[in-house]
């Protein structure tokens, strides 16, 4: 059982403008229970101590950016898989709520326990990554449990928590409208989902894998062209709003 | 017609008080930018011509032409026009656009070499006319002692205005349209008569002499305006005259002087009063109002000064710092935004983006939302404006101050600055470690002491040495600046600009500190890691080995940020111990502009790990690649630097790719406003928002020293741009542009 007062952090980004609304302080947590082939933060995967921080110290650190948050901004917990440290996040989020800081959680879902549910409750909005449209796809691409994703989205629906679905589009894998149709069919029954955001696969992380002496899992795959991404996003928005 | 018709009366009617006039007569504007008008056909035609001149200037190596046959003054050049049939605001520095004037009063030798640098030769008659004249440069070198000379030679102090005009004086040009020259001349004559009744001590004699010179040039200005067909003896009748008369004041100043920073002041809200009256009277339309502002700004973009090679190395990019101070608020929290505040920004669309005039937004939490958003939009789309904290400066300077150069505030027409360039603080540290010996040139610059012994650097011991050499430097720095301003007053006094100041001005002397983050990180390394000196074969410490980690300035870490603050405070208090020329008040800036590169070249390796010759970060910026927690952590660190000890300004540059600011333009605008609000709420002073487009990112890759703290990000991705390989920097450049502009 992890000490709920101590968190394991990979890094911080103080100017987050693309990970939730407004200006956000991003906490990249260390450790992930998945292994997405296309992961662009491989340094966050291993669940080993990296930068250990007390919950109150993290709160104080986040408060240093309060003047930038104004109406829309706040903190985003990302990683890695933040829900691996749900106990820690409960401590931190309780304190942040008392300080009127808005919380966004960037997760791909996790099996529900009390702490996980509490974190989901305390967050103001959720960025939920969808790793696949079936157990097979999720396992094959990410060693990720589709069932966990379903559990999570169902719970979010239950508590009506504002959710934005994020999906990585990879050339020659899921970069076609039919995939989006299937995805929307699965997701359309959840009224808590505000929008679906598509993220174009990119090969930027290649540097990181090289520096970590790891083979690059996506060798041979090109980055998704911006033009195609924009087309697909437009299509997705259209279909989802219907 | 009475120039003051329909103006609300007040104190300003009985004496010169432009601030009072503005407060009583300006029209607040809370609306948005939709009323703004695009460029007229006339403006586009003029810009075609202007762009031709600008292109030619580039083709000819950066200087279009030089009027080598005459000395620059108010009446020595024939009238000049961009296009006589199209010009609205009249007047050029010389007879041809971009033809630079020759001003030997700052220094004849430098004037000659400046001409030759571009293949021109100063007319022998001009040189002859200065044979029996002492220039400012001559005067300064008559008195500089060996210590100062060595300090200059080694780059301990650089950029001293001892061979070029000191600038940093802003005439209150608004007085001319408001009062007319007859009244202003009469006031000065009265002042002079009053002084002549007082005992003739040295200061009084000098002031009487200065007033005489002021009056001479005030009359020259009237003649200059006459030659362009304008009578500026009486107050302006309408907005066209207001703009023209104000411009004549500024034009006279730049004909007389070639100061590094010839800033224009806080003029937009003032001019709006006339424009509003004209709109009401039906004398002009909004289209014309914008057209006149466009033409006025065109004239400001044509300002040029002849500079030497050394100057151009220090201050790259041919800057003129025609700084226009915009917005801000009154003491009672009412904002000063008018429609003209918008029109000035609109010129960046109507004429294309440009770094001159140097549009500086005086930001306050009380500014209207619409204006804040428009400023952010303009930043993102034109990358041409900078921001300063009015809520911070208003306490000291009130609501009618202007910014000189980049960050230096003073009460318009009531205060003047004695510009003092800057001191290389990392070099002071190295000098301290090397017992007064310069590590690059191996010269004994400071008092002799043993070189630091071959052992781990001890924080207390190093700090003690540092204080000794900092004190030595402070003393010689004050002496140098005193010499410079004594001589400039004597040999190159700013007659016209000072005539547009109150007779009894307050003087501020502006010292500077370069390399703050290098010194802060060096002391941090010494304190928190293990730093060992490495000696060369001359026995000097020219490198360091660092074992362990230490916090860097720029990560919102108090352990090192407090060191940076102490360095500033201690240097300021040190400087205050020495008597300044003419009882001027000591101020300090953390500002380098582009001289950070030159400073770095002249400085050896430092304990923070910086290599010999490597550039310093500009101004108060953290060193590149050391901001590990992103741009806001960097802003937080800089915000801690105490303005009370650095009232000449604390400069911070923030480079960003627009798409990294947000998913679409609206998000980008909102986020930038939030960033500015958040930063200034922490009592930070200044932010130069450098918005970089794709084309410039390649430049950013190759020349990181030009783009401090560049933030380039993609959603969800944890990265430091500078740590990427070149190829991946290229790719991220491709990836960060979501939208076409």
Which DSSP string do the residues of B599-633 spell out, in sequence order?
Answer: HHHT----TTSPPTTPPPPSTTPPPTT--TT-HHH
B716: confidence class by pLDDT, cuts 50, 70, 90:
low
- Contact B660/A17, CB-based, under 8 Å? yes
- Contact A68/B675, CB-based, under 8 Å? yes
* Strand ranges, E, within B182-337: 323-327
Q: What is the C-alpha to C-alpha distance for residues A118 and A101, in angstroms, rounded to an integer?
A: 16
Q: Is B129 exposed, middle or buried (0-12, 13-18, 19+ CB in 10 A)?
A: middle
Told to judge if B406 belongs to the known catalytic residues of this protein, a careful annotator would answer yes
User: In sequence order, which residues have a C-beta less than 8 Å from that of residue A88 and are 6 or more positions away?
Assistant: A2, A4, A5, A6, A7, A55
Q: What is the 3-state composition of chain A as percent helix, strand, coil, each rounded to the nearest 5?
A: 40, 20, 40
- Contact B629/A14, CB-based, under 8 Å? yes
**Chain position carrying tokens 């691996």:** A84
Q: Give one word for B282, left, alpha or beta, with left for phi > 0 and alpha for psi -120 to 50.
A: left
B740: confidence class by pLDDT, cuts 50, 70, 90:
very low
Q: What is the C-alpha to C-alpha distance for residues B727 and A204, in angstroms, rounded to an integer?
A: 9
- For A210-228, letters b (16+ CB in 10 Å) and e give eeeeeebebeebebbebee
User: Residues A33-63: pLDDT tens digits?
Assistant: 999 999 989 999 999 999 999 999 999 999 9
Global pTM?
0.94
What values do phi and psi take at B106, rounded to 5?
-75, -35
CA B57 from chain center: how many Å? Answer: 23
- Asked if B731 is an interface residue toward chain A (Cβ–Cβ < 8 A), one would say yes
- Contact B732/A28, CB-based, under 8 Å? no
- Contact B674/A68, CB-based, under 8 Å? yes
- Contact B632/A25, CB-based, under 8 Å? yes
**Which of B671, B678, B726, B733 should be substituted to probe chain A, the one whose Cβ sees the most A Cβ atoms within 10 Å?**
B671
> How far B659 CA lies from chain A's nearest CA (Å)?
9
Nearest alpha carbon to residue B305 among B284, B287, B319: B319
Does B7 have pLDDT greater than 90? yes
> How far A78 CA lies from chain B's nearest CA (Å)?
8
**Which of B715, B725, B726, B738 should be substituted to probe chain A, the one whose Cβ sees the most A Cβ atoms within 10 Å?**
B715
Structure token pair of residue B237: 């009748």
User: Residues B108-162: pLDDT tens digits?
Assistant: 999 999 999 999 999 999 999 999 999 999 999 999 999 999 999 999 998 999 9
Q: What number is the ipTM of this complex?
A: 0.92
Q: What is the C-alpha to C-alpha distance for residues B539 and B520, in angstroms, rounded to an integer?
A: 25
Q: What is the C-alpha to C-alpha distance for residues B515 and B622, in angstroms, rounded to an integer?
A: 9
CB B583, CB B513: distance < 8 Å: no
Does A95 have pLDDT greater than 50? yes
Mean local confidence (pLDDT), B482-491: 98
Q: What is the C-alpha to C-alpha distance for residues B265 and B262, in angstroms, rounded to an integer?
A: 9
- Asked if B455 is an interface residue toward chain A (Cβ–Cβ < 8 A), one would say no
Other Cβ atoms within 10 Å of B219 Cβ, number: 14
**Chain position carrying tokens 């009380």:** B366
Which of the residues B111, B405, B423, B565 is marked catalytic? B405
Told to judge if B405 belongs to the known catalytic residues of this protein, a careful annotator would answer yes
Residue B738's pLDDT is 44
Instruction: Please give the span between the terminal C-alpha atoms of chain B, in angstroms, as a whole number.
Output: 49
- Asked if B556 is an interface residue toward chain A (Cβ–Cβ < 8 A), one would say yes
- Asked if A65 is an interface residue toward chain B (Cβ–Cβ < 8 A), one would say yes
Angle of the B286-301 helix axis to the B41-59 helix axis, nearest 10:
10
Which of the residues B406, B423, B565, B576 is marked catalytic? B406
CB B73, CB B41: distance < 8 Å: no
- Asked if B725 is an interface residue toward chain A (Cβ–Cβ < 8 A), one would say yes
What values do phi and psi take at B219, rounded to 5?
-70, -35
Q: What is the C-alpha to C-alpha distance for residues A20 and A125, in angstroms, rounded to an integer?
A: 8
CB B175, CB B500: distance < 8 Å: yes
Does B720 have pLDDT greater than 90? no
Residue B520's pLDDT is 98
Q: What is the C-alpha to C-alpha distance for residues B153 and B428, in angstroms, rounded to an integer?
A: 14
- Contact B674/A13, CB-based, under 8 Å? no
User: Residues B210-234: pLDDT tens digits?
Assistant: 999 999 999 999 999 999 999 999 9
Residues of A in contact with B741 (CB under 8 A): none
Q: How far is CA B658 from CA A26, A170, B146, B736, in A?
A: 19, 25, 50, 9
Nearest alpha carbon to residue B649 among B574, B599, B592: B592
Residues of B in contact with A203 (CB under 8 A): 731
For chain B positions 650-709, those within 8 Å of chain A (CB to CB) are 660-663, 667-668, 670-671, 674-675, 677-679, 681-682
Residue B315's pLDDT is 83
């Amino acid at each position: 059982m992890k000490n709920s007062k101590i968190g394991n952090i990979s890094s911080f980004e103080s100017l987050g403008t693309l990970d939730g609304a407004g200006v956000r302080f991003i906490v990249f947590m260390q450790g992930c229970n998945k292994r997405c082939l296309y992961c662009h933060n491989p340094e966050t995967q291993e669940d080993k101590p990296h930068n250990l921080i007390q919950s109150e110290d993290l709160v104080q650190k986040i408060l240093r950016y309060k003047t930038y948050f104004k109406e829309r901004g706040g903190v985003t917990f990302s990683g890695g898989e933040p829900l691996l440290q749900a106990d820690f996040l409960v401590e931190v989020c309780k304190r942040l709520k008392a300080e009127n800081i808005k919380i966004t959680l960037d997760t791909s879902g996790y099996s529900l326990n009390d702490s996980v549910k509490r974190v989901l409750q305390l967050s103001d909005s959720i960025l939920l990554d969808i790793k696949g449209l079936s157990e097979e796809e999720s396992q094959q691409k990410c060693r990720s449990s589709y069932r966990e994703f379903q559990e999570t989205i169902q719970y979010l629906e239950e508590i009506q928590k504002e959710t934005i679905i994020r999906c990585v589009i990879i050339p020659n894998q899921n970069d076609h409208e039919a995939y989006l149709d299937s995805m929307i069919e699965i997701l359309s029954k959840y009224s808590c989902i505000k929008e679906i955001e598509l993220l174009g696969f990119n090969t930027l992380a290649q540097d990181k894998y090289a520096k970590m002496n790891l083979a690059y899992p996506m060798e041979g795959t090109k980055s998704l062209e911006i033009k195609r991404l924009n087309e697909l996003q437009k299509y997705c928005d259209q279909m989802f709003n219907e | 017609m009475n120039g003051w018709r329909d103006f609300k009366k007040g104190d300003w009617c009985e004496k010169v008080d432009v601030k009072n006039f503005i407060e009583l007569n300006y029209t607040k504007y809370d609306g948005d930018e939709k009323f703004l008008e695009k460029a007229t056909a006339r403006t586009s035609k003029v810009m075609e011509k202007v762009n031709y001149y600008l292109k030619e200037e580039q083709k000819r190596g950066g200087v279009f032409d030089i009027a080598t046959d005459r000395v620059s003054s108010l009446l020595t050049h024939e009238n000049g026009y961009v296009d006589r049939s199209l010009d609205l605001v009249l007047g050029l520095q010389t007879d041809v656009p971009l033809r630079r004037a020759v001003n030997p009063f700052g220094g004849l030798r430098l004037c000659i070499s400046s001409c030759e640098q571009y293949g021109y030769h100063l007319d022998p008659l001009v040189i002859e006319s200065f044979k029996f004249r002492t220039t400012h440069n001559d005067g300064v070198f008559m008195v500089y002692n060996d210590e100062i000379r060595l300090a200059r030679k080694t780059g301990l102090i650089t950029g001293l205005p001892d061979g070029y005009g000191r600038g940093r004086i802003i005439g209150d040009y608004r007085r001319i349209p408001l009062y007319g020259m007859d009244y202003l001349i009469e006031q000065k004559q009265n002042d002079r008569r009053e002084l002549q009744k007082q005992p003739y001590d040295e200061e009084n004699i000098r002031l009487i002499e200065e007033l005489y010179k002021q009056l001479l040039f005030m009359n020259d200005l009237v003649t200059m305006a006459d030659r362009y067909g304008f009578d500026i003896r009486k107050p302006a009748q309408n907005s066209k005259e207001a703009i023209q008369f104000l411009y004549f004041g500024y034009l006279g100043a730049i004909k007389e002087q070639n100061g590094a920073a010839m800033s224009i002041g806080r003029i937009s809200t003032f001019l709006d009063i006339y424009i509003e009256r004209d709109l009401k009277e039906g004398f002009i339309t909004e289209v014309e109002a914008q057209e006149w502002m466009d033409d006025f700004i065109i004239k400001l973009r044509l300002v040029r000064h002849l500079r030497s090679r050394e100057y151009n190395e220090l201050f790259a990019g041919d800057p003129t710092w025609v700084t226009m101070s915009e917005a801000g608020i009154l003491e009672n929290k009412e904002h000063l935004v008018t429609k003209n505040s918008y029109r000035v920004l609109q010129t960046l669309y109507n004429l294309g983006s440009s770094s001159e005039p140097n549009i500086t937004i005086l930001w306050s939490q009380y500014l209207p939302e619409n204006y804040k958003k428009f400023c952010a939009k303009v930043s993102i789309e034109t990358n041409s404006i900078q921001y300063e904290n009015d809520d911070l400066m208003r306490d000291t300077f009130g609501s009618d101050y202007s910014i000189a150069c980049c960050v230096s505030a003073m009460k318009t027409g009531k205060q003047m600055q004695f510009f003092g360039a800057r001191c290389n603080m990392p070099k002071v540290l190295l000098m301290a470690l090397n017992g007064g010996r310069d590590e690059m040139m191996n010269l004994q610059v400071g008092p002799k002491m043993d070189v630091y012994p071959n052992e781990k650097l001890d924080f207390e011991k190093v700090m003690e040495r540092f204080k000794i050499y900092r004190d030595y430097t402070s003393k010689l720095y004050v002496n140098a600046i005193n010499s410079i301003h004594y001589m400039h007053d004597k040999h190159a006094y700013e007659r016209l600009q000072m005539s547009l100041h109150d007779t009894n001005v307050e003087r501020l002397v502006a010292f500077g500190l370069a390399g703050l983050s290098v010194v802060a990180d060096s002391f941090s390394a010494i304190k928190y890691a293990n730093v060992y000196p490495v000696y060369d074969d001359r026995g000097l410490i020219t490198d360091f080995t660092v074992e362990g980690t230490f916090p860097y300035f720029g990560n919102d870490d108090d352990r090192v940020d407090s060191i940076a603050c102490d360095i500033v405070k201690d240097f300021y208090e040190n400087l205050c111990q020495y008597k300044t020329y003419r009882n001027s008040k000591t101020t300090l800036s953390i500002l380098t502009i582009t001289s950070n590169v030159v400073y770095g070249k002249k400085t050896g390796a430092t304990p923070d790990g910086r290599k010999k010759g490597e550039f310093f970060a500009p101004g108060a910026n953290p060193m590149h690649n050391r901001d590990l927690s992103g741009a806001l952590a960097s802003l937080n660190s800089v915000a801690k630097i105490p303005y009370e000890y650095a009232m000449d300004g604390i400069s911070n540059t923030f480079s960003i790719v627009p798409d990294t600011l947000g998913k679409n333009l609206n998000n980008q605008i909102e986020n930038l406003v939030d960033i500015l609000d958040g930063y200034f709420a922490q009592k930070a002073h200044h932010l130069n928002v450098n918005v970089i487009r794709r084309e410039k990112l390649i430049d950013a890759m190759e020349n990181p020293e030009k783009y401090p703290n560049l933030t380039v990000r993609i959603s969800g991705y944890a990265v430091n741009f500078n740590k990427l390989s070149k190829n991946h920097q290229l790719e991220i450049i491709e990836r960060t542009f979501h939208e076409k502009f």
